[in-house]
Amino acid sequence: MENTIDLSKYDLSDEELFTVIKHDETESEKITAPRYSYWRSVFRVFFRKKINWIVLGILLVLLAFTYIYPMCVSFDRFANVRDETSKHLTPSAAMQKYGYTIHHILGTGASGEATFDAMWFGSRISLSLAIVCALINMFLGVLIGAFWGFSKKLDLVMTEVRNIIANVPYELLIAVLVLVLNRGFWTMVFALTVTGWLGVAYFIRTQVIIIRDREYNLASRCLGTPIGRIATKNILPFMTSVIVTYAALEIPSYIGFEVFLSYIGMGLSDLTLGRMISESQSAMLVPGWGFEFWSPVAVSAILSIVLFVVGQNLGDASDPRTHM
C-alpha cells in the first residue's frame, strides 16, 4: 500500500476533492475504439514487409513491359523472314547489325524477329489469358461454391457432377472446342473455364462447410438471419484471405497451363510465351541460340513467381487476425 496517497494530510473538503459529472447523452453515443478500416489495414500489414515493396516493384515493371511497351512499339514477327542473315543472332551480333536499340538486347529468333519484343507481345497474351480465366473461374467458383456448401441436396448432386467432369480429360475438351469453334483467344478462355470453375467451387464448398456450422453462424440463424445474408455478411468476409490466396495460385497456374498447352500443340494461334517456348525448344542446346529459348522461359517463370508471392502475401495480409 505504499503507493496510496493519504488525502487527509492535505486538509481538503470533499467538494474540493471531487466534482460531479452529469450524464451526457450525446457523449455516450461516441465510439472511442480506434478507427478500423479493413482494406486500409490490409495494405498497412502488406506494406510493413520490405520484401513486398521489392516484389511489387518487379511486378509493376513486368506489367509495364507486358501492357505498355507493346503499345509503344510496332512488331511484325515475319518482317525479316526473308533475310537469312537476321536469324538466330546473338545479342552482340544483333547489336552490330541493328545498332544499340532496346529491341535487340536479347538477339533475334528463328524468323529474324527481335526476341525482346516477341517476348513482351507473347507475355501480353499469356498474361491476359491467365487473368481473364482466373477472374471468370474465381467469380463462378466462389458464387457456386457458396451455394454448394450451403445446400445439402445440391451437395449430393454437385459432388457426383464433379466426380464425372473431373475425369473428362480437359485436353480432349479443348481439342473438341477448338475444332468446333476456332483457335482464338475467347475459344481458349471458354475451353479453360467451362470446367475450370469446378475446382474453385469445390475448394470454396469445403471452406463453407467448415465455417457454416460454427457457433456464431448457428446463433445468427437462431436470430432469424436469412441464408443469403449469412452467406454474404458472415461467411464471405471470413474467407477473403482464403480466396485471395487461391486466386494467387490461379493466375500463375494458368500461365503454366498456357505454356503446357502450346507445348503439346493445342495452344492459341497467336504468339504467346508458350508458343515461343515450344517453337524454340530445339534452339535450347545450340550454342549461341540460347537467348531465344531461355528468355520466354525466364519471363514466364519470373512473372509466375512474382504474382504468386504478391498474392500469397496479400492473402496473409487480408486475414484480419494479422491486423493487430
Transcribe 158-209 into DSSP letters.
HHHHHHHHTTS-HHHHHHHHHHHS-SSHHHHHHHHHHHHHHHHHHHHHHHHH
Task: List Cβ neighbours of 110 (8 Å cut-off, separation of 6 or more).
Answer: 87, 88, 279, 280, 283, 292
Cell numbers linked to 177? 472446342
- Give CA–CA dist 199/197, Å, rounded: 6
For another protein, the closer of residues 68 and 176 by Cβ is 176
What are the φ and ψ backbone dihedral angles of 108, each rounded to 5 degrees? -125, 165
Considering only 307, 314, 317, 318, the residue that binds another protein (CB under 8 A) is 307
Considering only 1, 71, 179, 222, the residue that binds another protein (CB under 8 A) is 179
Cell numbers linked to 231? 452467406
Considering only 63, 73, 143, 249, the residue that binds another protein (CB under 8 A) is 249
For another protein, the closer of residues 19 and 163 by Cβ is 163
Q: Does 210 sit near another protein (CB under 8 A)?
A: no
- Give CA–CA dist 235/284, Å, rounded: 50
Q: Does 259 sit near another protein (CB under 8 A)?
A: yes
HEC string of 55-70 equals HHHHHHHHHHHHHHHH
CB of 12 to another protein, least distance (A): 54
For another protein, the closer of residues 76 and 171 by Cβ is 171
Q: Does 227 sit near another protein (CB under 8 A)?
A: no
Q: Does 286 sit near another protein (CB under 8 A)?
A: no
Hey, which residues between 229 and 248 contact another protein (CB under 8 A)?
Answer: none
Identify which range of 116-124, 218-226, 237-245, 257-265 contacts another protein by CB under 8 A.
257-265
Q: Does 317 sit near another protein (CB under 8 A)?
A: no
For another protein, the closer of residues 31 and 285 by Cβ is 285
Residue bearing cell 450524464: 23
For another protein, the closer of residues 121 and 254 by Cβ is 254
Hey, which residues between 131 and 170 contact another protein (CB under 8 A)?
Answer: 160, 163-164, 166-169
Q: Does 312 sit near another protein (CB under 8 A)?
A: yes
For another protein, the closer of residues 49 and 97 by Cβ is 49
Q: Please work out the total of residues on this chain that contact another protein, with binding judged by CB under 8 A.
A: 40
Strand partners, 114: 108
3-state class (DSSP) for residue 283: helix
CB of 278 to another protein, least distance (A): 8
Q: Which H or E run contains 303?
A: helix 290-317
Q: Does 269 sit near another protein (CB under 8 A)?
A: no
For another protein, the closer of residues 68 and 305 by Cβ is 305
Considering only 264, 269, 282, 286, the residue that binds another protein (CB under 8 A) is 264
Strand partners, 108: 114
Q: Does 281 sit near another protein (CB under 8 A)?
A: yes
For another protein, the closer of residues 141 and 252 by Cβ is 252
- Give CA–CA dist 119/106, Å, rounded: 10
Task: List Cβ neighbours of 208 (8 Å cut-off, separation of 6 or more).
Answer: 145, 146, 148, 149, 150, 235, 239
Cell numbers linked to 128? 491476359
Cell numbers linked to 317? 495480409
Q: Where does this chain bind another protein (CB under 8 A)?
A: 160, 163-164, 166-169, 171-173, 175-176, 179-180, 249, 252, 255-256, 259-260, 263-266, 274, 277, 281, 284-285, 293, 297-298, 300-301, 304-305, 307-309, 312
